[in-house]
Amino acid sequence: MRKAFVETLVDLAGRDERIFLVTADLGWSALEPFADRFPRRFLNVGVAEQNMLGIATGLAKIGYVPFAYSIANFSSMRCYEQFRNGPVFHGLPVRVIGMGGGFSYGHAGPSHFSLEDLALARLQPGALALAPVDSAQTRSILLQLQAVPGPAYLRLDKTEEPDIPALNGLFAFNAPQLVRPGNDLLLLSTGSIAQEALKASDLLQNHGIAAAVAVQAHLSFRAEDALIDLLRTHRAVVTVEEAFRTGGLGSLVAEAIAVHGLSCRLCNQGVNLPLDGVTGSREYMRRRHGLDATSLADRARLFLQELS
Amino acid sequence: MVPTTLAPLTDLKRMSRTMRAWIITQSFDSKVGHIGSALSVVEIMAVLWGRVLRGAGTSAPDRDYFVLSKGHAALALYCAFRWNGLIDAATFQTYCKDGTLLGVHPEVGTPGVDIAAGSLGQGLSIACGLAYGLKLRGSEARVYTLLSDAECNEGQVWEAAMFAAHQRLNNLTALVDVNGMQALGRTRDVLDLGPMKRRWQEFGWLARDVNGHDEAELLAALEENRIQEDGPFVVLAHTALGKGVSFMEDRLEWHYRNLTPELAKKALAEIAQAEEP
């Protein structure tokens, strides 16, 4: 996903002189294609995320479209107030890149986990909170963002996983994309953990459960029609996010159900405990918090039993 | 860059005196504090908005930019806007009244304001972004920002200070309103910033100490700055909180207090009796 991000950004910057890349001293072995080709529009501000957001605000004010890059926990939290008071309040097209959301940096431990970023970005009605599920969707989002005059936060993965075939990189603001139909249950996810939801759907198939899979890369401030319509067609939904359970996708769906009086029942899966010092690979951390395919399938089956 | 003509400073002194009176009448009318902070930057605002800034507050593409990082002194900024005709008297009098765009701090959409402020420590970074981008474009516009001395408690100020020096942003001028007073006491007692000049110099800035209530000194420093080439420039403007009103000068409570009719009358009388420019 990171490679797709940089390639697309290079492509866009070749056609659009407003595109600017600012980093808080991260992106080794990733950002070079941009830095080498557009040295005048590449800026490393040092380990200073708050200053980075201020600089991006100033650059955007005079017409640039700055992408402000750091690891997700840093770029979403260390400079959250600067994001709010700068690009959000001023309605400026700063794109904050949160590289490696969720447990991407597993061995680096809790300081490097990013389990709040999307919820924080989603809190701002003046910003877009985006978590593409694969590389193809990352490209789509970057292309569509070109027409967006205000700010956005993008959670991206640094690893390169295969694209989800049935998605074909499709993306629309405020809307989920259905990638697999199914009548018994809906698995709705955001970001790269969609891969686990797909595998969970495979496992449920073995138990005779037809689980639809949909992805919602844009965690909108409020639930819009496309999501509400999708939820109307299902009696049960399991939300899957590599994030704390409150504030993000699960909350968006809960709000949709409650506000619009939907009959769909919700099982919201995400990290549900305070972080401790235990670390490991991303796969291990997902398992530990019940976010791997097997745990998700087990939880979904239990949920359906509870409902019947 | 050719220095602007050094006309007699009586116009700036008259501007300062008028702005000072407007601060008193308007904060009394609106019953809003921060009077002391506004009074301490009157001469700075007069010199910037009366002489130095070119096109600031307009939408001209190559205009100078001004960022009021110490946003709580916005009343003094609005006075300068009124003097320059960027806002009219009726708009000025909406200060801090319901539905106004002229709040305690400069907001998005306030006439003449490019960058909103209110949370200390953030303006210098935005000024850096403006200055870096303008240089990249080959623009001759300059960026000015005004900070408070206590604002320099914020770590982000020094992130930006490092950046500006490293990038040799010679189109950037910071002014620090060194009135020595912060929210709960004197800066030297709360978190000592001294020696301020050496700190900025060690961070790679050209620094000048000036009397922040002397238009001539301020103007001379800013004109010298216009032709300097090495890097960013900081003017340490030594001022007094509440300057120009005897019972407010250097008194902490005038960060907060509102004027009674009697005190407003007394303050206006003192300002009127000050030396005729």
Interface predicted TM-score of the whole assembly (ipTM), two decimals: 0.96
Structure tokens at B69: 């990082």
- CA–CA distance, B127 with B173 (Å, rounded to integer): 9
Convert the pLDDT of each residue in B31-84 to its tens digit: 998 899 999 999 999 999 999 999 999 999 899 999 999 999 999 999 999 999
Nearest to B129 among A40, A46, A59 (CB): A59
Nearest to B129 among A48, A57, A89 (CB): A57
Q: Please enumerate residues of A whose Cβ is less than 8 A from a Cβ of B.
A: 40-41, 43, 45-46, 48, 50-51, 53-64, 66, 81-82, 85-86, 89-91
What are chain A's domains? 2-156 (3.40.50.970), 177-307 (3.40.50.920)
Split at pLDDT 50, 70, 90, the class of B224 is confident
Check if the beta carbon of residue A5 is closer than 8 Å to that of residue A142.
yes
- CA–CA distance, A193 with A189 (Å, rounded to integer): 7
How many angstroms separate the Cα of B117 from the Cα of each of A58, A225, B153, B237? 13, 36, 17, 20
Q: Is the dihedral of CA A208, A212, A215, A220 positive or negative?
A: negative
Q: Which of B30, B119, B115 is nearest to B79 (CA)?
A: B30
Percent of chain B past pLDDT 70, that is, above it, reads 95
- Given CB atoms, is B204 within the 8 Å cutoff of chain A? no
- Given CB atoms, is B156 within the 8 Å cutoff of chain A? yes
For residue A63, what is the nearest residue in chain B, using CA coordinates?
A: B133
- Given CB atoms, is B62 within the 8 Å cutoff of chain A? no
User: Distance from CA of residue A105 to its chain's centroid?
Assistant: 15
pLDDT at B166: 98
Measure B159 CA to nearest chain A CA, in Å. 6
What is the pTM for the complete model shown? 0.96
- CA–CA distance, A87 with B115 (Å, rounded to integer): 10
Nearest to B125 among A54, A60, A63 (CB): A54
Structure tokens at B236: 């340490």
- CA–CA distance, A158 with A27 (Å, rounded to integer): 10
Higher pLDDT, A57 or B225: A57
Q: Where are the beta strands (DSSP E) in B26-168?
A: 65-68, 143-148
Convert the pLDDT of each residue in A113-161 to its tens digit: 999 999 999 999 999 999 999 999 999 999 999 999 999 999 999 988 9
A89–B129 C-beta distance less than 8 A: no
How many angstroms separate the Cα of A101 from the Cα of each of A105, A131, B198? 8, 9, 42
For residue A65, what is the nearest residue in chain B, using CA coordinates?
A: B133
Percent of chain A past pLDDT 90, that is, above it, reads 98
- CA–CA distance, A139 with B87 (Å, rounded to integer): 45
DSSP B14-66: HHHHHHHHHHHHHHHHHT---HHHHHHTHHHHHHIIIII-SSTTS--TT--EE
Q: Which residues contact A198 (CB under 8 A, 6 or more apart)?
A: A164, A179, A180, A213, A293
- CA–CA distance, B23 with B8 (Å, rounded to integer): 25
Phi, psi of A105 (to 5 degrees): -95, 50
Beta bridge partners of A156: A99
Cβ-based contacts of B137 with chain A (< 8 Å): 62
Mean of pLDDT values over A181-205: 98
